[in-house]
Amino acid sequence: MLINMKEMLKVANENNFAVPAFNISSLPMLNGVFKKCEELKSPVIIAIHPDELSYVEDSFVKTIIDKANKSELPVVLHLDHGSSIKQVINAIKDGFTSVMIDASTFKFEENIEITKKVVELAHSVDVSVEGELGTIGVDAGDEYGGSKDIQYTKPEDAKKFIDQTNCDSLAIAIGTAHGIYPENYVPKLKLDLLTQIKDLVKIPLVLHGGSSNPNAEIAEAVKRGINKINISSDIKVAFFKKCREVLKDNSLREPNAIYPACIEAMCEVVEEKVKLFESDNKAELFFQ
């Protein structure tokens, strides 16, 4: 069942859990995520970044839509980190039910103006919009954008941003970074800041850079009001690490001999995240 993200995160917000948003860029990964989420009865957001979209192309998007419509799960197809109105329009034409406009590196008033334009456009065709305020950290190998220096979201700015843009959800900066953290780096989320923001705003809040953070902090972030968490690096690392191991056997060449172990490794991470975010067995809430 394909729905927009406003519908999905309304349920998550009311029931105090977070929906995983998995960045997907191949059919084996897509099939694995769907199968595991169906097994766990978890709603799921399939996120595609513009860089990933340029690789998988429109035909893959049609496959996702078809798969979502045939699934008994609530599914959102989401444009991750759209950086221009043109990208947003193309995503809507392709059938995305949710879009993110990331104008977080612009000045505050410019971010409001750009996001407001996207909201007006998307809402006219029942597509939900995620905005971003503050900047997420980024590692050297990450393609999602961000800033080397995290600019934390200010609670009063978050309220003003939401009031003026009418966005459906807001990605906030509380100390995460895109990509995999350096070996000796331990991230520290500003959970008190999250609480302050949640006390001021009522819409669902989003956490980007959800990979590699301590589970205890993520669990606490969910309890304090995060309703969507983006996961990209963790599932890709698991998938391709296993691929490299499997391909050490030079005799293998058939996809059905190579991919199953890779999918299984990725699905172990998917299951861990679903249970950590407490979205397992929540699909039934959408049919009450």
CA distances from 241 to 28, 143, 234, 255, 264 (A): 15, 19, 11, 16, 12
Determine the length of the chain. Answer: 288
Q: For the residues of 184-242, what is the DSSP string, one character each?
A: T------HHHHHHHHHH--S-EEE---TT--HHHHHHHHHTTEEEEEE-HHHHHHHHHH
The 3-state DSSP composition of the chain as helix, strand, coil percent (nearest 5) reads 50, 15, 35
Contact 97, 79 (CB under 8 A): no
> Is 49 marked as binding a ligand?
no
Look up tokens 């190579």; give the residue. 258
CA distances from 59 to 53, 55, 80, 99 (A): 10, 11, 18, 18
H/E run at residue 77 = strand 75-82
> Is 178 marked as binding a ligand?
yes
Q: How many CB atoms lie within 10 A of CB 55?
A: 11
CA distances from 11 to 54, 83, 107, 206, 258 (A): 32, 28, 32, 14, 38
Contact 77, 46 (CB under 8 A): yes
Query: Which tokens sit at 54?
Result: 């340029």
Catalytic amino acids? 80
With H, G, I as helix, E, B as strand and everything else as coil, classify residue 110: helix
**Contacts with 272 (C-beta within 8 Å, 6 or more apart), sequence order:** none
Query: Which tokens sit at 254?
Result: 């058939």
Which segments are annotated as binding site? 81, 102, 132, 178, 208
Which segments are annotated as binding site for Zn(2+)? 81, 102, 132, 178, 208
